[in-house]
Amino acid sequence: MDLSSFITSLTTSFIIFVILMILFAYLSTKPGNAVVYYPNRILKGLDPWDGSSSRTRNPFAWVREAFSSSEQDVISMSGVDSAVYFVFLSTVFGILLLSGIFLVPILVPLAYTEKNPNVKDSDGKNAFEVLDKLSMAHLKEQSNRLWVSVIACYWVSLVAYIMLWKAYKHVSDIRAAALKLTEVKPEQYAVLVRDIPSSSEGYSRKEQVDEYFKTIYPETFYKSLVVTENKEVNKIYDELEDCKKKLKRAEIIYADSKKVNPEGVEPTHKTGFLGLVGKKVTSIKYYIDKIEELTPKLEAAQKLTVTEKQQGAAVVFFTSRVTAAAAGQSAHARMIDTWTIMDAPEPRQLLWTNLPKTYYERVIRQNVVYFIVFLTICFYMIPIGIISAFTTLPNLRKLLPFLKPILDQDAIRTVLGAYLPQLALIIFLALLPKFLMFLSKAEGIPSESHAERATSGKYFYFSVFNVFIGVTIGGTLFDSLKDIEKHPNSIVGKLATSLPGNASFFITFVALKFFVGYGLELSRIVPLIIFHLKRKYLCKTEDDIKDAWLPGDLGYPTKIPNDMLILTITLCYSVIAPLILPFGAIYFGLGWLVFRNQVLKVVVPKYESYGKMWPHIHLRILASLLLFQVTMMGYFGVKKFIYTPVIIPLPVLTLLFAFVCNTKFHRFFQSTALEVVACPELKERPDMETVYKSFIPPSLNAEKGPDDEGVV
């Protein structure tokens, strides 16, 4: 990539960013858009603009607000998980900034002033690219200046260790503070029990669970909630809810029609497939009849489910947080495959259908899933290649003759010709996170947050392996697969030789990511358009409108791996082409700013896991660091630097650091430390009935409780 196209690319990205910023500044002040730009504040019952009128408002006030907000504000608006995400952003920003301060002013002039006769020869005509002159590629083989690069590797690693250590400590503090709060959180009084052995005759599961826990915790056991097979009851419940929603909508349509015509037009619909076929009925009467029919059916199904469809899992409640926390980490049964107990996740993030899966089923499922993920990561190009080969234009015409008239138009042919080959890949990449999420849930994981962490891990491996290593080594990998088979170490050398050429590509890649990505994120153009379209054409009731603007969460399963990919790229190039460091730093710095706004005003988290994501992030940052160190070893080797072994302590140090951090900090993220939840002020028993009811799935009638006849 030459200098002009590099600058063109950066400029284009920047212009898009400026346009999106202006759009955001304009659109966000319009009161009609408040639900799109401030949904989190609205849902929390706060005034969108915090007092100041929308007119007089400075369009860049959000920057000041983001900077002036404290960590406590983030936690209160969006929970601990969001605060942990900011710790991640600021830590990585710090690492890249501190590295950049040392590396850019020293390594860049050092590379530029090197006289490299070799390169001049081969590039004789075109001179040496300016960008490449600023990188380590310009250093001579065996040059003494490589010593400075070695020191730079140590500096980057050292900065990373210190920042990560501080961050882990800080996240641990945040987590502890959140868990310590005296406010009653139902999940702190409950544990999840799985692998309940099949009960002896005459006993129901519930009696069995109650007796078991009453024996062990005679004083603090409160109640148990046995997990049931809810498929049937859920189906009826969903149908009923759907009818209620449709009834409401029909009533509004009827009322609206009365405004035009005092008589009104009773809305009607057909009962068949998608309302296209079947008998025509009057909607309001039809739905009222249906609700009347479904309500007793639901009640009967609920009763049947609660008594007859008890499964081998339960949520057990204690009257003390300390007991619940201790129970979550103690072995209750002698065999590890019965009475498996763990801390209960929040009720809203429980994956009910996964709970009754038995220990061995989980182990097998997990291994099968890992194997599938491994295949997906390594060989996903094969089926896509095959599909691409079949979906050429001539093939399409042959297979789908009815498309012929369309395909024969020139304009369509050009567009399809350009995109058809990558169509399978594009669809695959769009569906990949969903597919990985499906796989993670299929492992038998009990909670949403855990499944998201598992997805994020899988996506991380996919993106690092395919984008970074894939782009860098490019097509050469498959050609030289035989070489690698013979000398497996040569993959490091291969990676190292292909690195410098791609530096400017990755710089523009990072810049594109933050300019366009953050611009779109902040301006919310897509959700805004969708909201206005929906409100105009689809929404009838207030609930419909709310559904239309209801924001999602930050989307950790894709967001964190994407950030990690940028971090991996920046770290790996940090010493080779230090110019990437400011771009990386801007990515995370600007990200911090943009997401501070989003977290405070827009996104609504789906769950709260009290920072359980952190050990996962921490480990993957270290994996990136390790990849950087190993790559550098290879690169020094390529430069025929005979002191390359001085780098060897670095990967060892990283592994040691990972081990020490894991030993010292990790356990608190797996289970709750008792000193944290033991709170002398919290002497009073919370309202246990509320705690208990918060765990009952809505389809089982949360109002009444599924087993009031049960033993208390």
In 10 A of CB 357, how many CB atoms? 22
Is 102 a binding residue for its own copies by CB under 8 A? The answer is: no
422 Cβ neighbours under 8 A, 6+ residues apart: 388
Is 337 a binding residue for its own copies by CB under 8 A? The answer is: yes
Which C-beta is closer to its own copies: that of 359 or that of 607? 359
Is 335 a binding residue for its own copies by CB under 8 A? The answer is: yes
Q: Is 460 exposed, middle or buried (0-12, 13-18, 19+ CB in 10 A)?
A: buried
Residue 582 amino acid letter = P
CB of 450 to its own copies, least distance (A): 19
CB of 675 to its own copies, least distance (A): 5
Is the alpha carbon torsion for 555, 76, 66, 91 positive or negative?
negative
Q: Find the binding residues for its own copies in span 284-323 (CB under 8 A).
A: 322
Is 675 a binding residue for its own copies by CB under 8 A? The answer is: yes
Which C-beta is closer to its own copies: that of 479 or that of 675? 675
State how far the Cα of 414 lies from the Cα of 409, in Å rounded to an integer. 9
Is 262 a binding residue for its own copies by CB under 8 A? The answer is: no
State how far the Cα of 635 lies from the Cα of 443, in Å rounded to an integer. 39
Is 333 a binding residue for its own copies by CB under 8 A? The answer is: yes
State how far the Cα of 186 lies from the Cα of 169, in Å rounded to an integer. 26
Which C-beta is closer to its own copies: that of 215 or that of 261? 215
Which C-beta is closer to its own copies: that of 603 or that of 658? 658
Is 339 a binding residue for its own copies by CB under 8 A? The answer is: yes
In the list 215, 259, 277, 394, the residue contacting its own copies (rule: CB under 8 A) is 215
Is 547 a binding residue for its own copies by CB under 8 A? The answer is: no
In the list 336, 389, 399, 533, the residue contacting its own copies (rule: CB under 8 A) is 336
In the list 58, 330, 395, 690, the residue contacting its own copies (rule: CB under 8 A) is 330
CB of 198 to its own copies, least distance (A): 16
Instruction: Provide the mask over 633-672, with x wherever binding to its own copies is found by CB under 8 A and - wherever it is not.
Output: ------------------------------xxxxxx--xx
Is 427 a binding residue for its own copies by CB under 8 A? The answer is: no
Question: Residue 705: left (phi > 0), alpha (psi -120 to 50), or beta?
Answer: left
Is 325 a binding residue for its own copies by CB under 8 A? The answer is: yes
In the list 21, 158, 216, 425, the residue contacting its own copies (rule: CB under 8 A) is 216
Q: What is the CA radius of gyration of the chain?
A: 30
State how far the Cα of 671 lies from the Cα of 330, in Å rounded to an integer. 10
Which C-beta is closer to its own copies: that of 69 or that of 329? 329
Which C-beta is closer to its own copies: that of 179 or that of 571? 179
Is 684 a binding residue for its own copies by CB under 8 A? The answer is: no
CB of 579 to its own copies, least distance (A): 40
State how far the Cα of 379 lies from the Cα of 257, in Å rounded to an integer. 58
Which C-beta is closer to its own copies: that of 36 or that of 171? 171
Residue 165 amino acid letter = W
Which C-beta is closer to its own copies: that of 335 or that of 431? 335
Is 221 a binding residue for its own copies by CB under 8 A? The answer is: no
In 10 A of CB 213, how many CB atoms? 25
- Find out whether 482 and 491 touch, Cβ atoms under 8 Å: no
Per the listing, tokens 């900077």 go with: 67
Which C-beta is closer to its own copies: that of 67 or that of 659? 659
Is 212 a binding residue for its own copies by CB under 8 A? The answer is: yes
Per the listing, tokens 């049960």 go with: 710
Which C-beta is closer to its own copies: that of 121 or that of 219? 219
In the list 233, 326, 590, 603, the residue contacting its own copies (rule: CB under 8 A) is 326
CB of 365 to its own copies, least distance (A): 16
State how far the Cα of 412 lies from the Cα of 598, in Å rounded to an integer. 39
Number of residues engaging its own copies in binding (CB under 8 A): 38
CB of 349 to its own copies, least distance (A): 23
Residue 330 carries which DSSP code? S
Q: Which helix (H) or strand (E) holds 44?
A: none
CB of 609 to its own copies, least distance (A): 16
In the list 554, 676, 696, 700, the residue contacting its own copies (rule: CB under 8 A) is 676
**CA dist 404 to 394, 411, 413, Å?**
10, 14, 11
Which C-beta is closer to its own copies: that of 140 or that of 666? 666
Residue 347 carries which DSSP code? G
In the list 201, 219, 410, 684, the residue contacting its own copies (rule: CB under 8 A) is 219
Is 329 a binding residue for its own copies by CB under 8 A? The answer is: yes
State how far the Cα of 499 lies from the Cα of 492, in Å rounded to an integer. 11
In the list 2, 674, 690, 698, the residue contacting its own copies (rule: CB under 8 A) is 674
State how far the Cα of 284 lies from the Cα of 269, in Å rounded to an integer. 10
Which C-beta is closer to its own copies: that of 477 or that of 679? 679
Could you tell me the two tokens for 118?
Answer: 């070799």
Per the listing, tokens 């989980």 go with: 362
Least Cα distance to 582 among 505, 513, 504, 507 occurs for: 507
Is 334 a binding residue for its own copies by CB under 8 A? The answer is: yes
State how far the Cα of 709 lies from the Cα of 484, in Å rounded to an integer. 68
Which C-beta is closer to its own copies: that of 362 or that of 494? 362
Q: Find the binding residues for its own copies in span 133-172 (CB under 8 A).
A: 172
Percent of the chain that is helix, strand, coil (3-state, to 5): 70, 5, 25
State how far the Cα of 665 lies from the Cα of 655, in Å rounded to an integer. 15
Is the alpha carbon torsion for 76, 78, 84, 90 positive or negative?
negative
DSSP secondary structure of 21-35: HHHHHHHTTSGGGHH
CB of 683 to its own copies, least distance (A): 8
Which C-beta is closer to its own copies: that of 210 or that of 452? 210
Which C-beta is closer to its own copies: that of 214 or that of 303? 214
Is 673 a binding residue for its own copies by CB under 8 A? The answer is: yes
Least Cα distance to 287 among 268, 264, 265 occurs for: 268
CB of 682 to its own copies, least distance (A): 10
Q: Regarding beta strands 310-318 and 280-282, do their DSSP bridges make them parallel or antiparallel, or are they unpaired?
A: unpaired
Is 217 a binding residue for its own copies by CB under 8 A? The answer is: yes
CB of 206 to its own copies, least distance (A): 18
Is 177 a binding residue for its own copies by CB under 8 A? The answer is: no
State how far the Cα of 268 lies from the Cα of 282, in Å rounded to an integer. 4
**Residues at the site binding its own copies, with contacts judged by CB under 8 A:** 172, 176, 212, 215-219, 322, 325-327, 329-337, 339, 663-668, 671-676, 678-680, 683
